[in-house]
Amino acid sequence: MSRNVTILGAGLVGSLLAIILRKRGHDVTLYERRPDMRAAHMSAGKSINLAMSARGWKALDLAGLRAEMEPIAIPMYGRYLHQPDGQTAFQPYSKNNEAIYSVSRGELNKKLMTLAEENGVNIHFEHRCTQVDVPNNALRLAHNGEEHVVTTDLLFGADGAFSALRASYTHMDRVNSSQHYLEYGYKELAILPGANGEWLMEKNALHIWPRGKYMMIALPNTDGTFTCTMFMPFEGEVSFSKLQTEADVHKLFDEQFADAKALMPTLIHDFFANPTSSLITTHIFPWHYKDRSALIGDAAHAIVPFYGQGMNAGFEDCTVLSGLMDRHGDDWATILPAYERLRKPNGDAVASLALTNFVEMRDKVADPRFLQRKKIEKELGTRYPHQFISVYEMVSFSHIPYSTAIQCIQAQDRLLEQVMAEGDFFDNIAHDSFCDRIGHWVADYHKAVQQLDFG
């Protein structure tokens, strides 16, 4: 039976979900707060490039968009570290030469919207949902200064961290929720191309300038530019509040980011023209109401961007929902609770992984011991390909549930501590007795991991 389905938010997740539902024959209407980005001038200066990884690609397959996206997705095979003195180091993400992909959020979103419309989805722009009567699935929509109410059979809130459906859920009895901001803000900056449009740094990497309490990253774009993002505390010794004058910005970049600064002719303009934005993590439970409505993507689990998993997690929500439709057809009284049961622990896990990765990126990656550990992880993965997969690989290059990956962290830390306590790994590895011991430890680790639920 085809349903009248309404989706709030025509962002990445809402547009993809619309395509998936439309392909199953439902009537799908999308309401989007903003104007049509395909017509309007894109507001720049407040977007972090997407890092598309396995979970994202899998969902694009569902929409049939992989072939169209691949040519404009730039593979990044590892982290490219920049020290204050100009020294650099490359740290591959995987033992198998796997990559995460730099993708333009705007381009991907436009393609998804167009594909949704081509499939028969109605998108209403500049329609802001102000309130949802949850038990009755009645939406109050503001458009051109007037409000009207529409009702729907089935409703999805794909309307981001400040979702109207999420807000309406929180006013109901026994709905738990939280919103927590980092003490850090971020600001978008730019590295420009060379005279012939060429990339002026290694194109196929995610660049990081780790500085302990703050950091800058840069992701490549197809036009030869890099989008840089500076993450820094709002207040404190080195902070956005301390960068008030052009001289302040020059001084910081001269001292800490000299190699990048040489490639940033628009630095001062960008720094003062672009906003300083905040970073939020949200939790909510439940994620659904009976067989009537559910939250998806950031509306269910807004996370910080440091694992590059926000879009990937939202797209995986769509993949899981699609799988449940395969199994349960149109039985939404079964699908929605099952979706919540499968995805809520993963939303919590990816939120936690993202927060933890910030510390790794801004601080630990500059630590020689950490770099050594990463090399050992790669070697272990090569020697024991079926028994040892790093947590980073689980998250970025597999479909192992986030909640399983996060449970491996402790055991993996213990394993690496054991190995590293024995002294220099790459010397020791020449000795059979050392290899034997490692073999046992890895086998023990593998046994422990196998107890976990791999979804």
Nearest CB to its own copies, comparing residues 174 and 369 = 174
Q: Out of 39, 85, 144, 174, which residue is the one contacting its own copies (CB under 8 A)?
A: 174
Stretch that binds its own copies, among 166-174, 329-337, 386-394, 397-405 (CB under 8 A): 166-174
Q: How far is the CB of 360 from its own copies (least distance, A)?
A: 23
Strand partners, 140: 131, 149
- Nearest-angstrom CA–CA distance, 387 and 381: 8
Q: Does 239 bind its own copies (CB under 8 A)?
A: no
Rule CB under 8 A: say whether 237 interacts with its own copies.
no
Burial degree of 388 (CB within 10 A; 0-12, 13-18, 19+)? buried
Q: How far is the CB of 139 from its own copies (least distance, A)?
A: 18
At residue 361, φ and ψ (nearest 5 deg) are -70, -45
Q: How far is the CB of 177 from its own copies (least distance, A)?
A: 6
Q: Containing H/E element for 178?
A: strand 176-191
Q: Long-range contacts of range 423-430, CB-CB < 8 Å, 24 or more positions apart?
A: 425/372, 425/375, 425/376, 425/379, 426/375, 426/379, 429/379
Rule CB under 8 A: choose which of 178, 244, 266, 410 binds its own copies.
178
Q: Which member of 1, 86, 144, 173 binds its own copies (CB under 8 A)?
A: 173
Residue 43 binding its own copies, by CB under 8 A: no
* CB-nearer residue toward its own copies: 150 or 161: 161
Torsion angle, CA of 261/263/269/271, rounded to 10 degrees?
Answer: -50
Size of the site for its own copies (CB under 8 A): 14
Q: Does 179 bind its own copies (CB under 8 A)?
A: yes
Q: Count of residues for the chain?
A: 455
CB distance 340 to 287 below 8 Å: yes
- Window of 25-33, 177-185, 208-216, 323-331 that interacts with its own copies by CB under 8 A: 177-185
Structure tokens at 248: 């302040």
Q: 312, 57 in Cβ contact below 8 A?
A: no
With CB under 8 A as the contact rule, the residue among 151, 241, 278, 382 that binds its own copies is: 278
Q: Which of 61, 76, 63, 72 is nearest to 107 (CA)?
A: 72
The distance of closest approach from Cβ of residue 39 to its own copies in the complex, given in angstroms and rounded to an integer, is 28
Binder among 175, 192, 409, 420 for its own copies (CB under 8 A): 175
Position 384 contacts its own copies (CB under 8 A): no
Q: What is the DSSP string of 25-87?
A: T-EEEEE-SS--TTTSPPP-SS-PPEEE-HHHHHHHHHHT-HHHHGGG-EEE-EEEEE-TTS-
Residue 143 as a binder of its own copies (CB under 8 A): the answer is no
180 binds its own copies (CB under 8 A): yes
CA pair distance 108, 100, nearest whole angstrom: 15
73-81, 172-180, 245-253, 408-416 -> range binding its own copies (CB under 8 A): 172-180
Contact between 176 and its own copies per CB under 8 A = yes
Residue numbers of the site for its own copies (CB under 8 A)? 162, 170-171, 173-181, 234, 278
